[in-house]
C-alpha cells in the first residue's frame, strides 16, 4: 500500500538528486528561512472553529443558518479557559496576584479545570470548590492538573456557608495576602473576556451577518460580554438565553423576582441566585429547556454530526434550532457548544444514569 501526503512536498522524492543536494546545502548552511512560531498550550485559547449545524434545523424559509462555536476545542475543553486567562493575566499585571499566592475558585467544574490548567502552567497552587452535582470526569480533571478540590453538598441554599460559591471567601477572609479569588460570578473581567475575544470572533466568522446569539447562563459572562459587543456592532442582534427547567433566570427576566430554584441535571447553566456578571438588560428572550430536550440534542449532535458536546451545548442548540425553525426571514443564529461531551460520558451519554433519572438515551441517524 502507498500513502500520499496531502502537502505540496508530496512530489519530492528524497533520494532524487535535487533533494540530496538540498539536504547537503541545509546541513552546511545556517537556516535563514523564517522559523515557525511554536506556542505554549494556553496560547491556543480562543479562535475556535465555527461549525455549520443548519442540517439539524427545519427552517420554514430559505437563508436560515445555525452556526456553533466549538468551545470544547479550547485547551481545557471548555469556554471557561477564556475568562481564566483574562482574569489571571490582569491580576498578574496589576500586582493583585503575586508568585507564591494560591488561587481559589468556586465552579461547576469548567472554570475549575481552566484554573487548574493555567495555575499548573504558571506555578500557582489552586483550590477549586464545587458541589456533588459536578461530574466525576470534571472533578478528576481538576485533580489531574494538581489542584486541590473541595466538594460541598448539592442542593444547599445560597445563604448556607456550605454552598460551594461561598467557600472561596473563607480562604480570602482568613488570609487576603495569600489567596486570590477568581470570583467569576461578580468579576466584570469575566464578561470582558467574551467582549474581547468570543464576540469579535463571531462577528468576523459570520462577516457581520449574525442576527441571533443564543447562550445559556450561569455567571452570565458569556451572554453579557458577547451580547454587549454584538449589539454595539448591530443593535438589531437578538440575545436569547436558554434556561433549564428549575433555574431562576426565566422568572427573573419576566418579573424581576425569583423563587427558590429546583434541581435539574444539565451542568454548568442556570442558577439559584442572580450573579453580578449577568446584565439581564441585554437579554431579548428566555427559552426554557428540559433535561431530556437538552440531552436528546446532545445525542443527535453526536450521532448525526459527530460532535460530542456537553449538556449545556445540547440545551443551547435546542434553543438555537427553535429560533431558526420559527424564523420568517433569512437569519444567522449563532450559539456556543460550551464544553466537551467527554466530561459527561458517565452522565449525558450513559443509558444507565439516564434511566435512573427517568430519562432516555435517544437514537438518531443522519438524513
Ligand atoms: N456551559 C457550561 C458547561 C459551563 O460550565 C458554563 C459556566 N458555568 C456555562 C455554560 C455558562 O457560562 P457563563 O458562566 O458565562 O454564563
pLDDT, tens only, 93-132: 999 999 999 999 999 999 999 999 999 999 999 999 999 9
Q: Look at residue 233 and tell me whether its pLDDT is greater than 90.
A: yes
Percent of the chain with pLDDT over 70: 93
**What is the predicted pLDDT for the residue at 11?**
41
**What is the predicted pLDDT for the residue at 42?**
95
For residue 136, the CA-to-ligand 1 centroid distance in Å is 17
Where do you find CATH 3.40.50.1100 in the chain? 46-75+191-356, 81-181
For residue 268, the CA-to-ligand 1 centroid distance in Å is 5
- Closest protein CA for atom 4 of ligand 1: 268
Architecture of the domain spanning 81-181: 3-Layer(aba) Sandwich (3.40)
Q: Look at residue 9 and tell me whether its pLDDT is greater than 50.
A: no
For residue 315, the CA-to-ligand 1 centroid distance in Å is 12
Q: What is the pLDDT of residues 266-297, one digit of tens each?
A: 999 999 999 999 999 999 999 999 999 999 99
Cell of 50: 465555527
Alpha-carbon gap, residue 249 to 175, rounded angstroms = 34
> For the domain bounded by 46-75+191-356, which CATH number is listed?
3.40.50.1100
Query: Span 327-354, mean pLDDT?
Result: 98
**What is the predicted pLDDT for the residue at 27?**
62
- Closest protein CA for atom 14 of ligand 1: 219
Q: Is 39 one of the annotated active-site residues of the chain?
A: no
For residue 217, the CA-to-ligand 1 centroid distance in Å is 6
**What is the predicted pLDDT for the residue at 293?**
98
Selected catalytic residue, list 65, 69, 80, 133 = 80
Alpha-carbon gap, residue 280 to 256, rounded angstroms = 10
More confident residue, 8 or 316: 316
Confidence of residue 2 (pLDDT cuts 50, 70, 90): confident
Please give the number of the atom of ligand 1 that sits closest to the Cα of 221.
Answer: 15
Pocket probe for ligand 1: among 76, 222, 223, the residue whose CB has the most ligand atoms within 8 Å is 222
Q: What is the pLDDT of residues 238-263, one digit of tens each?
A: 999 999 999 999 999 999 999 999 99
Q: Are 99 and 177 in contact (CB under 8 A)?
A: no
Pocket of ligand 1 (CB under 6 A): 78, 80, 108, 110, 216-222, 268-269, 310, 312, 338-339
Pocket probe for ligand 1: among 84, 134, 219, the residue whose CB has the most ligand atoms within 8 Å is 219
Of 202, 243, 248, 208, give the one whose Cα is nearest residue 226.
202
pTM of the predicted model as reported, rounded to 2 decimal places: 0.92
Q: What is the pLDDT of residues 178-227, one digit of tens each?
A: 999 999 999 999 999 999 999 999 999 999 999 999 999 999 999 999 99
Q: What is the pLDDT of residues 60-85, one digit of tens each?
A: 999 999 999 999 999 999 999 999 99
Confidence of residue 172 (pLDDT cuts 50, 70, 90): very high
For residue 24, the CA-to-ligand 1 centroid distance in Å is 55
CA distances from 346 to 109, 174, 350, 354 (A): 15, 37, 5, 9
Q: What angle, 0 to 180 degrees and rounded to 10, lies between the N-to-C axes of helices 110-122 and 81-94?
A: 40
Residue 311: which H helix or E strand, with range? helix 311-326
CA distances from 151 to 128, 190, 246, 270 (A): 8, 23, 22, 19
**What is the predicted pLDDT for the residue at 350?**
98
More confident residue, 16 or 52: 52
Amino acid at each position: 500500500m502507498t500513502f500520499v501526503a496531502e502537502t505540496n512536498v508530496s512530489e519530492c522524492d528524497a533520494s532524487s538528486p535535487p533533494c540530496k543536494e538540498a539536504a547537503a546545502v541545509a546541513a552546511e548552511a545556517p537556516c535563514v528561512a523564517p522559523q515557525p512560531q511554536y506556542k505554549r498550550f494556553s496560547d491556543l485559547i480562543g479562535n475556535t472553529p465555527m461549525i455549520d449545524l443548519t442540517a439539524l434545523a427545519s427552517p420554514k424559509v430559505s437563508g436560515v443558518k445555525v452556526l456553533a462555536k466549538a468551545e470544547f476545542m479550547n485547551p481545557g475543553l471548555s469556554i471557561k479557559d477564556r475568562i481564566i486567562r483574562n482574569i489571571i493575566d490582569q491580576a498578574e499585571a496589576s500586582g493583585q496576584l503575586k508568585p507564591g499566592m494560591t488561587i481559589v475558585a468556586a465552579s461547576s467544574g469548567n472554570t475549575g479545570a481552566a484554573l487548574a490548567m493555567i495555575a499548573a502552567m504558571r506555578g500557582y497552587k489552586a483550590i477549586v470548590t464545587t458541589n456533588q452535582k459536578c461530574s466525576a470526569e470534571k472533578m478528576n480533571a481538576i485533580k489531574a492538573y494538581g489542584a486541590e478540590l473541595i466538594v460541598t453538598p448539592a442542593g444547599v441554599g445560597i445563604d448556607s456557608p456550605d454552598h460551594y460559591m461561598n467557600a472561596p471567601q473563607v480562604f480570602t477572609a482568613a488570609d487576603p495576602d495569600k489567596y486570590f479569588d477568581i470570583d467569576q460570578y461578580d468579576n466584570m473581567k469575566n464578561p470582558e473576556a467574551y467582549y474581547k475575544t468570543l464576540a469579535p470572533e463571531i462577528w468576523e466568522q459570520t462577516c457581520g451577518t449574525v442576527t441571533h446569539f443564543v447562550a445559556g447562563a450561569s455567571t452570565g459572562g458569556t451572554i453579557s460580554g458577547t451580547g454587549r459587543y454584538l449589539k454595539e456592532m448591530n443593535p438589531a442582534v437578538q440575545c436569547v438565553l436558554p434556561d433549564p427547567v428549575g433555574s431562576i433566570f426565566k422568572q427573573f427576566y419576566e418579573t424581576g423576582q425569583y423563587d427558590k430554584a429546583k434541581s435539574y441535571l444539565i451542568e454548568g447553566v442556570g442558577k439559584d441566585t442572580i450573579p453580578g456578571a449577568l446584565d439581564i438588560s441585554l437579554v431579548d428572550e428566555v427559552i426554557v429547556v428540559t433535561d431530556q430536550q437538552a440531552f436528546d440534542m446532545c445525542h443527535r449532535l453526536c450521532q448525526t454530526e459527530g460532535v460530542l458536546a456537553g449538556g449545556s451545548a445540547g440545551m443551547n442548540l435546542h434553543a438555537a434550532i427553535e429560533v431558526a425553525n420559527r424564523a420568517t426571514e433569512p437569519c444567522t443564529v449563532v450559539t456556543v457548544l460550551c464544553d466537551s461531551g467527554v466530561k459527561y460520558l458517565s452522565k449525558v451519554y450513559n443509558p444507565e444514569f439516564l434511566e435512573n433519572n427517568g430519562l432516555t438515551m435517544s437514537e438518531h441517524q443522519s438524513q
